[in-house]
Amino acid sequence: MDNATPISDFRQKKLIFIFENFFDVNHSGSIERKDFDQAVDYICGRRGWEKDSNKYNDTRERFIQIWDALRCVADANTDDQVSQEEWCRLWRTPSDCESWQNTYQSFMFYLLDTSGDGSIDVDEFTSVCSTYGVSPDECRGAYKKLSKDGTVKVDKPYYSVLWKDFFFSDDTAALGNFIFGKINF
């Protein structure tokens, strides 16, 4: 792991926020397949997508791809769980998990762009991010920051730039810090 980069306290706080709020759905302290199954049911239920619908099945398939890829790159001790330590270690060497990151990023954009119009607006952003324990007001404030007061369209290319800021930047003022609706870490 010669090319591994240390993770600052600030970056670690962001990573743990994602671990605890987006992945460890059952709050067991590790990420497991059942977290993904529960997340599918929760997200699809909130959107009114019935089991066996195309949207439900597409979401489930995407979640399982993310889990399978995450397990392959992060589950160092092969116990079919990703601990918080393994999760943070994953982000020390970005090139080792690039394919998984791209899959996860693509899914998050799909999840946030609820209208499917190719961009994320404040209502979509707030609706999705507030389901993960962030207040709607904080979500709207985060969106205002990352969209530069609504002057920048949050489309997939821009979201990709913000994504890299969130996961790899130690800059506390980077706009990407807000892509999950949280303003302070």
Domain 8-104 matches domain 113-179 at the CATH topology level: yes
Q: What is the CATH number of domain 8-104?
A: 1.10.238.10
The dihedrals phi and psi of 3, each to the nearest 5 degrees, come to -95, 15
Q: What is the pLDDT of residue 6?
A: 81
Where do runs of H (alpha helix) occur along the chain? 9-18, 33-47, 54-74, 84-90, 98-112, 122-129, 136-146, 156-168
In tens digits, what is the pLDDT along the chain, a chain of 185 residues?
Answer: 446 678 899 999 999 999 998 899 999 999 999 999 999 998 888 888 899 999 899 999 989 999 998 999 899 999 999 999 999 988 887 777 788 888 889 989 988 998 999 999 999 999 999 988 899 999 999 999 999 999 999 999 999 999 999 998 999 999 999 999 999 98
- The domain segmentation of the chain, as residue ranges, is 8-104, 113-179
Q: Quick one: tokens of 49?
A: 């997508």
Q: Quick one: tokens of 139?
A: 């979500």
Instruction: Quote the pTM value.
Output: 0.87
Q: What is the pLDDT of residue 1?
A: 44
Name the class of domain 113-179.
mainly alpha
